[in-house]
Amino acid sequence: MLLARLTEANGAPGQEHEVRDLIRAEVEPYAHVVKTDALGNLFAIKNPQAPGPKVMIAAHMDEVALMIVGIDKDGYLKFRPIGGVDPRILVAKTVVVGKKKTPGVIGSKPIHLQRPEEREKPFTIQEMVIDIGAKSKEEAEKLVKLGDIAYFTTAYEELAGGRIKAKALDDRVGCALAIRLLQEEVSFPLIAAFTVQEEVGLRGAGVAAYQVEPDLALVLEGTTASDVPGTDEHRQATSLGEGPAITVMDRSVIPHPQLVQELFALAAEKGIKVQARRSTAGGTDAGQIQLSKTGVKVAVISVPCRYIHSPAAVMCKDDFEGAYQLVKHYLARLEERAGLS
């Protein structure tokens, strides 16, 4: 299954090659042009020379991960997060490190050795290590070098209730949507941009939009679902199973009001369940794309994911399908309009 292969592939910001190779093979049958740029963004283009609106669908390939920044004399690896990682979720998770995919475990001082005051507060990143079993610095250095990336090892699995669990759903879920949408028959130029380095500051998307010069861009994302115990209802950004979320504002962007209205109206017309994203926190590639050159119409459509930026996120398959249907119908609407003009 595509989403399983995508989420089990590894791609830290700036090191997206494994994900990119996988996507390239998937999109080649459907795109007239497939190319990459200097930052590593991957473009799959349909009808590059056709008239009509130039439509970009964008999803980022990178995921949050850990970078090895030190190896101590006993062979333990020190690390730092790349992108937003909550240190409290890390202890005892399994990882693979570097090109050789050396297995390891995130270790910390065991509870029976902690002083009472230490038990009161969670471990910081500085207090954790990755244990690859090496007994000395020399032994560890044969397997791992500084700058290597550690990834979570979570396998994709189907859960009860039509839900799935995986790592890196942010934003392989968007990549999977874009790959599927590229299979739609359209006559206008459709550019799927698989971007790099979103998690460290929306870096790939800006240069991608600069090259593409789209008339309109739809950013496909995995976003935080906070319908979990202990969260006040009014503080939940999205809920699982309530359909894809449409953004009205976040830290990076206020999407084009008319486009947002069109998407809500289209969803109502086609009977697709959607929700307005009920938080203004977070940012997406849309922030950079909107401000490219003389400006671009953008909207953001997200699949809600619980426990995002953690080793295991949970997503509802119906929400994914809803996002696919919504964008598919929107592309069809653009096709109708292009035909009329």
Partner 1 sequence: MKAIIKQLTEAFGPSGYETEVVGLIQELIQDHVDELRTDVLGNLIAVKHGSKEGKRIMLAAHTDEIGVVITYIDDNGFLRFAPIGGVGITTLVGNRVRFANGTIGVIYQEGKTEWKELALDKLFIDIGAVSKEEAEQKVRVGEFAIFHREFTDLGNRLIAKSMDDRIGCAVLIEAARRITQPKNTLYFVFTTQEEVGLRGARTAAYGLEPDLGLALDVTLTGDMPEARRMAVTLGQGAAIKVKDSSLIAHPRVKDLLVKLCEANNIPYQMEVLERGGTDAGAIHLTKAGVPAGTISIPTRYVHTPSEMVDLRDVQACVDLVLAAAQADLAGII
Window 59 to 78, contacts with partner 1 (CB under 8 A)? none
Q: Looking at 110, 119, 293, 336, which residue binds partner 1 (CB under 8 A)? A: 293
Give the residue, chosen from 21, 295, 337, 339, that forms a contact with partner 1 under the rule CB under 8 A: 295
155 vs 249 by CB, closer to partner 1: 249
We find the least distance from the C-beta atom of residue 282 to partner 1, in angstroms, to be 12
CA dist., res. 134 & res. 311, Å (int)? 24
Residues 88-147 that bind partner 1 (CB under 8 A): none
282 and 250 Cβ atoms separated by less than 8 Å: yes
Cα separation of 99 and 259, whole Å? 43
From the list 109, 93, 110, 101, the residue with the least C-alpha distance to 167 is 93
- Which residues are tagged catalytic? 198
Question: x-or-dash pattern for partner 1, window 145-164, by CB under 8 A?
Answer: --------------------
The helix-helix angle for 317-340 and 169-181 (nearest 10°) equals: 40
In angstroms, give the least distance from the CB of 293 to partner 1: 5
The number of helix segments (H) and strand segments (E) in the chain equals 9, 17
With contacts defined by CB under 8 A, name the span among 58-66, 67-75, 291-299, 330-338 that binds partner 1. Answer: 291-299
* Residue 276: CB minimum distance to partner 1, A: 4
| Helix (H) or strand (E) run with residue 107 in it | strand 102-107
- SS3 at position 270: helix
Closer CB to partner 1, 140 or 260, in the complex:
260
Closest to partner 1 by CB, 108 vs 280, is 280
Residue positions counted in the chain: 341
The footprint of partner 1 on residues 226-285 (CB under 8 A) is: 232-236, 246, 248-249, 254, 256-257, 260, 276-280
Minimum gap (Å) between residue 116 Cβ and partner 1: 28
Choosing from 46, 167, 297, 306, the residue that interacts with partner 1 (CB under 8 A) is: 297
- Residues 6+ positions from 70 with CB-CB distance below 8 Å: 77, 78, 146
CB of 294 to partner 1, least distance (A): 4
Measured distance CA(43)–CA(36) in Å, rounded: 6
Find the binder of partner 1 among 38, 116, 119, 294 (CB under 8 A).
Answer: 294
Minimum CB distance to partner 1, residue 206 (Å)? 12
Q: Is the dihedral angle over the CA atoms 302, 249, 43, 14 positive or is it negative?
A: negative
Residues facing residue 68 across a β-bridge? 79
* 291 belongs to the binding site for partner 1 (CB under 8 A): yes
Number of residues in contact with partner 1 under rule CB under 8 A: 25
End-to-end CA distance of the chain: 39
**C-alpha closest to that of 266 among 205, 223, 218, 221:** 218
Per CB under 8 A, residues contacting partner 1 are 232-236, 246, 248-249, 254, 256-257, 260, 276-280, 290-297
